[in-house]
Structure 1
């Protein structure tokens, strides 16, 4: 931790924790094809931390990561509800890319039902 980070106080701690969430989500996305169970666990951890921080973007992205892992595990009954939760958050945040990716995965998931 640099001196500048320490001087920022509590906000730097939140930023570091949000960065941890972002890193967990990235790792989940990287592992989802080869190890969807591990990706699912990482997504759930990211969601838990995001919720504690009230980090809306982290919640939406981790819900998407959870849903993607569930889809790769062929657990479609858990996929759709997580995606619907994620899309609500992405819409509220006006995060078009997240909304688009989520809608796409919803369509793909319905195809496999």
Structure 2
């Protein structure tokens, strides 16, 4: 499972939180397998990945049944994240400028 998780999270520049059931489904675990058994194996695999340095941290939140991981993105993922942030900022600026050019715009 650690190998699958490594492959899965290595493709995520900024990983989202995933539900335990979602990860179980995505990794192809036996559908009839008990979720409690999967959760235990998942915790062991996540701990191993943190120990080996694949992840900075990994938390399984029992109240929400969600896995939250922190990893350091690769150099190409860092460039992707920087481009995405710049595009988002440019879009926000363009939106704000269009508001000021709108004759019906009333600032708060």
Scaled to the shorter chain, the TM-score interval is 0.3 to 0.5
Tell me which protein shows more strand as a share of its residues. 2
TM-score by length of 1: 0.33
Tell me which protein shows more helix as a share of its residues. 1
Q: Which has the higher contact order (CA 8 A, sep 6+)?
A: 2
TM-score by length of 2: 0.34
